[in-house]
Structure formats: structure tokens, C-alpha cells
Amino acid sequence: MKTNKKGIDLIEEFESCHLEAYKIGDDPWTIGWGATTYEDGSRVKKGDSISQERADALFIHHLERFEKLVMDALGNTVLNPNQFSALVSIMYNVGPGYPRIRSGIRWLETGRPSTLLSLIKHNQNDPLIAKEFVKWISKGSIFEKGLLRRREAEVNLYFS
């Protein structure tokens, strides 16, 4: 399954594209459409710059990686394109077990299903899924308001 246009538009809206490496607080150096690593796994560093074409190619590379991670985590659970795309969006933002967030999509790092994944696998239309998305906002951080807006957009996509 592939991320649909609505999902790609959502990711690009919230990530925005930066052709020069940037850093916010303790977060890793980031470039392009929110990439912290290049195709070969090397980390983005201070002073790095890329072209728009490279940023777009890097975006596709990471998007395909996260699509595969989500598909692997879902197993035989069937989602509609909007549900799948919303999950890829949150995964693209949070990563497969981001250490600073305490709950949610850590299933890929720990091997244990998260509450979000468990709910989706049990009943992909469970309204409690919306509350699980919104847990991923880094409470108290400078990112909280923006992440809340993103999670709400992902929930709206998931349930549309």
C-alpha cells in the first residue's frame, strides 16, 4: 500500500521543506522534508545543504521506508487508503520508537504492540483511536501546539 495524495499533502504541510540543515533545541539536525538521515543512513549535520530535487528524492526514500514499517506492523489488518496514510504520517513524524515520547507507536522498537496499534488491529474504526493519536504531542514542549494540530489533521484523515 502507498500513501495517498491526502497523506503526502498532510506530511508536506507540517514538515515543510528546508534546503539547509536546521536544528531546534535538542532535536537532531534536519533537512529537506523533515529528514534526519540520508539514504545511506548517515546523519544530517550542521552546514549540510541540498537541492530541491534531492529533498524530494529523500522524502520519497523515507516515505517508502515508513510505509513498509507500517505495513509490517499491521500484519494482515486491512486499512483504507486514508487510514493507512494517517498512520504513515504519524510514523514519519515520530519515527519507529522515538525515545522522548513515552507511549504510542513504539511497537517497532520494543516488539510489543502500542495501544494505538492494538486498537487499530482489533477494530480499525474504534473511536478511541483518535485519543491515541493525540497522545503523541510531546506535552510541555515547544512543539506541543503544532503537534496537536498535526495529530488532529491525522485523525481527520484517518476517519475520513
Q: By percentage, how much of the chain surpasses pLDDT 90?
A: 67
- The pLDDT value given to residue 10: 98
The tens digit of pLDDT for each residue in 36-76 reads 999 999 999 999 999 999 999 999 999 999 999 889 888 89
Structure confidence at residue 129 (pLDDT): 95
Determine the pLDDT at residue 120: 93
pTM, full prediction: 0.87
Domains in the chain, CATH or no CATH each: 5-158 (1.10.530.40)
pLDDT score at 98: 46
Contact 81, 4 (CB under 8 A): yes
pLDDT band at 154 (very low <50, low <70, confident <90, very high): very high
User: Which contacts qualify for 11-14: CB closer than 8 Å, 24 or more apart?
Assistant: 11/63, 11/88, 11/89, 11/92, 11/93, 12/59, 13/153, 14/89, 14/93, 14/146, 14/149, 14/150, 14/153
**Averaged pLDDT for residues 16-22:** 96
pLDDT digits (tens, 9 = 90+) for 131-141: 999 888 878 88
The rounded percent of the chain whose pLDDT value lies above 70 is 89
104 has pLDDT over 60: no
Mean of the per-residue pLDDT values for the chain? 88
More confident residue, 28 or 106: 28
